[in-house]
Amino acid sequence: MNKIIAIEQFSFNSEDSIVCCYGHFNLIHPGHLRYLQHAKTLAEKLVVLVRSDEELEKDSLGEHYSENERAESLANLHIVDFVIILNQITLEESVNLVKPSILVLGKEFEQGQPKQVELAVSTVLKQGKVVYHAGDISYATSNLLYGNVSDIEKKRIDGFKKICEKHKLTLQTLQNRIESISSSRMLVIGDTIVDNYVACDAIGMSAEAPVLVVKELESREFLGGAAIVASHVRALGAECHYISVVGEDAPRLMVDKTLKDRGISSRVFIDPTRPTTYKTRYLVEQQKLFRVSRINDHKVSVNIEQDIINELREKAPNIDGIIISDFLYGVITQKIIDEINILAKQFRIKIFGDMQCSSQMGKVTKFKKFDLITPTEKEARLALDDSESGLEWIGQLILNEAKSKNLLITLGADGFIAYSNESPLERQDFPALTVNPVDVAGAGDSLLASVSVALTSGANLIEASAIGACMASLAVKEVGNTPIGTNKLNGYLEIIFILSE
């Protein structure tokens, strides 16, 4: 059965209830799927009304798929029953003919509606109801319940290649962009973390209490936090200077040695009142049992803050980009952010920021007028105090409030969405290419490092995001944070473009 029909072809069983959804659906990303899935639970038949090419061009959406391609993508979803393109008919006229019992609109339409939506809502309310709902928010995925790993991974790689085809990205294009990274001079600043992984053997349950008993086999330390961001930057060929703060303890020696071994010049200040952040993860095989963190997150002293600012001023004339990796452990103060903004304007330095938080204590929107910010969906919602609006709306609000040139909203197992706030506007979702990751701890760090250094070296947002998607995929394939270099990245791209044919 052809699901894509003209409005005059629409007919239905009078006993079936109908729910309608409406939008441009240029990118069928996880936010759209939540919206459609929720609508499907409300009635027997789901009819999707798709905005025409003519309408999108009037709204200056930017580059977009054709109305037929967008309709085809929707028709391929098993939850969608019919797709109608509104190319010769208004939304009001369409709902008058389809007569849905329910019209589902995103939560953002509760705050204000274009005239055509307002007229359609009035029409539907005469015969049914209007529901404002963006779908149920989830920060995990259930994809593995519906297919095996290899099939799901192949589908995602095919989707990635289609994105590259749409934007005319070839293997050679991306490899050329990776090669050009070597001309970039970067500075990374943020919280240093040492990650300690302890491999254990499960013995059983304690006889005294319901406690799991394990035997420690061996342990290994890895650089984490902003330090692994710097490590990725250097491994990709760029010059890199690193600024951070550590404690007067043994882990700082490991930090100093590893940075030196990786060819990263650094100025790591010692604060005796703040032990080096140390996170120990206990695991059996590849299964993490729990994590113990040693953290002191009070702000650095005024003296160290000034030392950091002095170091920034000294390095600024000779760098092209600054990456801030803020874990909210006290290194990145507002005064330091303000100074970075001043230096960026003075020396035309690109600035990139990531703030990792899981509570109300941090807001990524404090990074104002950056070239790129990379919050998770949860962090974006926390920054806006909005747990209900659609993902597309959240992205636009973050762009507007932070006045960022570019934005990546990361979605964990569902990949990420790239947004551009410059002309031409860009919106593109990228799938997570590794379906069954070994360790997801460093995915965001590798994404931030690779996209930032690619943008600094002349790549556009889509080129940089394609490189970042591959970096993140490689990062989650092994336990612990290991810098990913150009050879490994180029080899993975060749697998995707050549060996996956």
Q: Going by C-beta distance under 8 Å and a sequence separation of 6 or more, which residues neighbour residue 333? A: 299, 300, 305
Distance CA(409)–CA(404), nearest Å, equals 13
Asked if residue 1 is part of any domain, the answer here is no
pLDDT digit string, tens, across residues 155-185: 889 989 989 998 999 999 999 999 999 999 9
CB-based burial label for 314 (10 Å; 0-12, 13-18, 19+)? exposed
CA 74-75-77 angle, 5° bins: 70
Q: In terms of domains, do 232 and 249 share one?
A: yes
Query: Which comes out higher in pLDDT, residue 305 or 33?
Result: 305
Q: How is 87-131 classified by DSSP, letter by letter? A: SSS-HHHHHHHH--SEEEE-GGGGT---HHHHHHHHHHHTTSEEE
Asked if residue 90 is part of any domain, the answer here is yes
- Give the alpha-carbon dihedral of 407, 409, 415, 419, to 10 degrees: -30
Asked whether the predicted pLDDT for residue 146 surpasses 50, the reply is no
Report percent pLDDT > 90 for the chain. 63
- Total-model pTM: 0.84
Q: In terms of domains, do 429 and 489 share one?
A: yes
Distance CA(452)–CA(243), nearest Å, equals 17
CB-based burial label for 7 (10 Å; 0-12, 13-18, 19+)? middle
**CATH assignment at residue 212:** 3.40.1190.20
pLDDT at 391: 85
Q: In terms of domains, do 375 and 276 share one?
A: yes
Q: Going by C-beta distance under 8 Å and a sequence separation of 6 or more, which residues neighbour residue 294? A: 275, 277, 278, 279
Q: In terms of domains, do 276 and 211 share one?
A: yes
> What's the structural domain count of the chain?
2
Of 115, 136, 157, the last residue of a domain is 136
**CATH assignment at residue 32:** 3.40.50.620
Q: How is 431-495 classified by DSSP, letter by letter? A: --S-SS-S--TTHHHHHHHHHHHHHHTT--HHHHHHHHHHHHHHHTTSSS-----HHHHHHHHHI
Of 136, 167, 184, the last residue of a domain is 136
Q: In terms of domains, do 103 and 163 share one?
A: no
pLDDT digit string, tens, across residues 311-348: 999 999 999 999 999 999 999 999 999 999 999 999 99
Of 217, 193, 202, 412, which Cα lies nearest the Cα of 289? 202
Asked if residues 354 and 332 have their Cβ atoms less than 8 Å apart, the reply is no
Asked if residue 106 is part of any domain, the answer here is yes
Q: In terms of domains, do 106 and 210 share one?
A: no
Q: Which amino acid is at 364?
A: V
Q: In terms of domains, do 259 and 298 share one?
A: yes
57 confidence band (pLDDT: 50, 70, 90) = confident
Asked whether the predicted pLDDT for residue 143 surpasses 70, the reply is no
Q: In terms of domains, do 341 and 448 share one?
A: yes
Asked if residues 86 and 12 have their Cβ atoms less than 8 Å apart, the reply is no
pLDDT at 144: 42
Of 136, 162, 180, the last residue of a domain is 136
Asked if residue 2 is part of any domain, the answer here is no
Q: In terms of domains, do 315 and 403 share one?
A: yes
Q: In terms of domains, do 167 and 98 share one?
A: no
Asked if residue 23 is part of any domain, the answer here is yes
CB-based burial label for 67 (10 Å; 0-12, 13-18, 19+)? buried
Q: What is the rounded average pLDDT for all residues in the chain?
A: 90
pLDDT digit string, tens, across residues 79-137: 999 999 998 889 999 999 999 999 999 888 887 888 889 999 999 999 899 999 877 66
pLDDT at 61: 57
pLDDT at 208: 83
pLDDT at 122: 93
Asked whether the predicted pLDDT for residue 145 surpasses 50, the reply is no
pLDDT at 137: 62
Asked whether the predicted pLDDT for residue 501 surpasses 70, the reply is no
pLDDT digit string, tens, across residues 409-451: 999 888 999 999 876 667 888 999 998 888 888 899 999 999 9
The β-bridge partners of 343 are none
Asked whether the predicted pLDDT for residue 459 surpasses 60, the reply is yes
Asked whether the predicted pLDDT for residue 353 surpasses 50, the reply is yes
Q: In terms of domains, do 199 and 319 share one?
A: yes
Q: In terms of domains, do 240 and 373 share one?
A: yes
Domain that includes residue 242, residue range: 145-499
Torsion sign, CA atoms 385, 386, 391, 395: negative
